[in-house]
Structure 1
Amino acid sequence: MTQSVRVAVPRKGRPLEAVLERIAMVTDAESVVDEVISTLRHEKAITKGSIDPTMDVYERLSTISTLHDEYKPEYTLRRDDRPGMPRRIVFDTLTIDISGIPVQLIGREEPFRALRTHTFGLGFDSADLVLEEVVDLRADGIDSIDEINARIDPMNTDVRVVTGLGDTVYHTLLARPDVLDYDVSLDRSFIIEYQGTLCISPRYERLVEAVLGTYALDDVSFKYPHEEQQEEAAISNAGVGVYLTVTGSTAREHGLVVGEELFPSETVLMQNNAETTAKTDRVRDILATCEMEEMMTEINTQSLDANNKTTE
């Protein structure tokens, strides 16, 4: 039996959905991917209180998990961060064939750290974590996924970013209009000249330092939202800040100007260079380039051409 390639993936949310959608693009596993995404969205709604369940969490877990067939999804329980820390059903494992190679997707709380400890050769996680943990801080900032690997100290980790999945929201500069002069753009150049407080989420402090660069932050001090305070409201109080935006509508509702998109908060495919094999390289290349989809398109085109010639 062909040995499987194990890939660390997030257990829930947008990052996991991005991974599953990429898997569906390069395989014929659309049905099981849709099943997992639908199941986890339903469980999220239950956890949020939007849906009243007809069974308790253990009954639901036993109903939706399949233990005897690795090609069907298995789920597990974790405590959610919401008030009361309710139990929540999250992804555990699923095997899918990619170009004839069994690929076992394994849910991890912190896939990036699992790669750093050499537990996995391949994995998916947020690019944010790479900036928060291993990217060198320099005077100049960083603004794209492509720049990450050049900022990683090879003595620090063997993990490298392969590619992003395109599920992008942005760390964005936000400010009250009265903080800006009428002819000033809210971008990196503004921060270089700015002296004062910059409101950010505490977990993003090192990321913001990496993205903006230490030179731009020389005369800037960080301020953090109070507990239970919405980030956009805290930035409005502080005057200037950095936070995640999709359309910027929530920021505008708080009277903020939406400035430069500084860095994409995106799910990325990563590999541990010390744990690569011919199989992991093959799986990596297909996931990174959607090679299989291109192959299937070519095969279908050739088949169509052959049928047309037969008809003629």
Structure 2
Amino acid sequence: MGETIPIAVPRKGRPLESVLDRFADRLDVPDLADDITSTLRHEKALTKGTVDPAEEDVYHRLADYSAVDDPAEPEYSLLRDDRAGKPRRIVFDSVTIPLTDVEGAPDGTAIQLVGREEPFRSLRTHEFALGFDSADLVLEEVVELRPEPLDRIADINARINPSDTDVQVVTGLGDTVYHTLLAGPEVAPAAGSIDRDFLESYEGPLCIEPRYERLVQAVLGTRALDDIEFYYPDEGREEEAAIADAGLGVYLTVTGSTARDHGLLLGEQLFPSETVLLENTAETTPTVDLVRSLLNGGDLETELVVGR
């Protein structure tokens, strides 16, 4: 008789959508993935106030969405959102997917996707053998800070001290955006690029999100930060506006249009932010190995390829 392998996944947002796309591709469950994604996008729009609220309140919608008597149908739960008024927001909770047609899987084998606020930490505490989370959180939590910069996700494992955690990065999902160096015209070099070499000679404030302080230290390397002072945006203020005031900063960018609206110039893409498959190597079993191999693979345009 097969076993059910729980996998920690984000509860909402782009990382969860990337995970669902991966499962839709590998397990041929596009309808399930589309159902969860469309439900959560609708609930996000309701929370943001960009669509008219439904007649039913959030508790009735939660009951309508969740099929608690059928694990093969998705369940949802409620969280307090960070927006004004702290509204309750419907987020993903769990769903079970049988591995019926997977070669090598014993009869009855299944995976259960389980929503967690920070899946990486759930793997660190050995609640799960497998999970998905942003590579950023791994940098924020466990990578060693060194004088040399870290510019590739594929180098993360080499900077994880095994005495700190049994969790390793397996592969990426290709949903890449970048931590990018941004500068105002008054700070940008007259000749040359806004890049790591420029930072080596720069002295002054560098605007970052407080939660990214350790990540930025790892990405830039401690040597480049000798004469730099971190500057943080005021609560509720746009990061790009705060960077414009400071003159130089690091922020996640997709198109860079908002940065340009604030008069900022786009510099070097310092580090890719990507959803990654994680494994707690102390919790592996033959079935976990099977599931990992099913989810791994080089069919995506990802910043990460980790050899095993």
Q: Do these two structures clear the TM 0.5 threshold for a shared fold by scoring above it?
A: yes
Hey, what does 2:290 align to over in structure 1? 282
Hey, what does 1:39 align to over in structure 2? 39
Residue by residue, what CA displacement relative to the aligned partner does 1:194-226 show, whole Å, maximum 9, x if unpaired? 111100010000000000000001110100011
Q: What SS does the aligned partner of 2:223 have?
A: coil
Residue by residue, what CA displacement relative to the aligned partner does 1:123-176 show, whole Å, maximum 9, x if unpaired? 000111000010000000101110000000010000000011111111000001
Hey, what does 2:66 align to over in structure 1? 65
Q: Distance in 1 between matches of 2:69 and 2:139?
A: 39
- Equivalent positions of 1:199-238 (< 5 A) are 199-238=207-246
- Equivalent positions of 1:105-124 (< 5 A) are 105-124=113-132
Give how far 1:181 is off: 2.5
Q: What SS does the aligned partner of 1:114 have?
A: helix
Hey, what does 1:89 align to over in structure 2? 90
Q: Distance in 1 between matches of 2:276 and 2:146?
A: 22
Query: 1:290 and 1:259, CA in 2 relative to 1: closer, same or farther beyond 3 A?
Result: closer
User: How high is the TM-score relative to the length of structure 2?
Assistant: 0.93
Q: What SS does the aligned partner of 2:161 have?
A: coil
Hey, what does 1:305 align to over in structure 2? none
Residue by residue, what CA displacement relative to the aligned partner does 1:7-65 show, whole Å, maximum 9, x if unpaired? 00000000100100000110121101100000000011111112211211111011110
Hey, what does 1:27 align to over in structure 2? 27
Give how far 1:290 is off: 6.8
Q: What SS does the aligned partner of 1:140 have?
A: coil
Cα pair 1:123 1:271 within 8 Å, conserved: yes
Query: 1:245 and 1:47, CA in 2 relative to 1: closer, same or farther beyond 3 A?
Result: same
Hey, what does 2:306 align to over in structure 1? none
Q: What SS does the aligned partner of 1:113 have?
A: helix
How well do the aligned residues superpose, as a CA RMSD in angstroms? 1.1
Q: Distance in 1 between matches of 2:189 and 2:117?
A: 44
Letter in 2 for 1:225: P
Cα pair 1:125 1:269 within 8 Å, conserved: yes
Name which one, 1 or 2, has greater alpha-carbon Rg.
Answer: 1
Report % sequence identity.
Answer: 62
Give how far 1:97 is off: 2.8
User: How high is the TM-score relative to the length of structure 1?
Assistant: 0.91
Give how far 1:82 is off: 0.7
Letter in 2 for 1:18: S
Q: Distance in 2 between matches of 1:41 and 1:290?
A: 28
Q: What SS does the aligned partner of 1:78 have?
A: strand
Q: Distance in 2 between matches of 1:180 and 1:38?
A: 42
Q: Distance in 1 between matches of 2:216 and 2:233?
A: 15
| Higher helix proportion | 1
Hey, what does 1:8 align to over in structure 2? 8
Paired residues in the alignment total: 291
Residue by residue, what CA displacement relative to the aligned partner does 1:67-108 show, whole Å, maximum 9, x if unpaired? 111111011111111111101110000111342431100001
Q: What SS does the aligned partner of 2:282 have?
A: helix
Hey, what does 2:79 align to over in structure 1? 78
